[in-house]
Amino acid sequence: MIWRIKFFGFVLFMICFVLGGIQLAENGTRRLDGFENGPAQSFHIARVDQGKLEMTVLGQQYYINGVDRATDQGQAASNWISSIGNSVGDWISTSTNNMAKWLFK
């Protein structure tokens, strides 16, 4: 029982440091790029009318024409790197779920 408390304390400790490191890196990137008082989010994507996308990256706006969903489905079947990544992601999530179930027995 005590090792579970230590383990979860360590995981919580590491998560706090990872999130703090990400925030520190984003602040450093904004400061280097001259956006010290820039937006809180580094990027934002929104759909505009007629299938166009509006993307804001560090305060600069970009407009992208939408892609046809019918052509994407044919490419998704032939993209073997994506399928490998999806299978690895599924394996990681099921392993994490099983480990959490085991720890919380």
pTM for the full predicted model: 0.33
What's the confidence (pLDDT) of residue 38?
58
- 99 — pLDDT class (breaks 50, 70, 90): confident
Whole-number Å distance between alpha carbons of 5 and 28: 34
- Assign 62 a pLDDT band (cuts: 50, 70, 90): confident
Average pLDDT, stretch 28-45?
A: 68
Average pLDDT over residues 83-89: 87
Residue that has been written with the tokens 């990256």 in this structure: 57
pLDDT, average across residues 41-56: 73
Q: Residue 46 is encoded by which pair of tokens?
A: 């929104």
CA-to-CA distance for 30 and 37, rounded, in angstroms? Answer: 8
Coarse DSSP helix, strand, coil percentages of the chain, rounded to the nearest 5 percent: 65, 15, 20
What's the rounded mean pLDDT across residues 91-96? 89
CA-wise closest residue to 47 among 70, 63, 71, 69: 63
Q: Give the mean pLDDT of the chain.
A: 77
pLDDT of residue 42: 65
Residue 79: pLDDT over 70: yes
- Alpha-carbon distances of 8 from 5, 22, 102, rounded to whole Å: 5, 21, 13
Sheet harboring 60-64: ordered strands across? 43-47, 53-57, 60-64
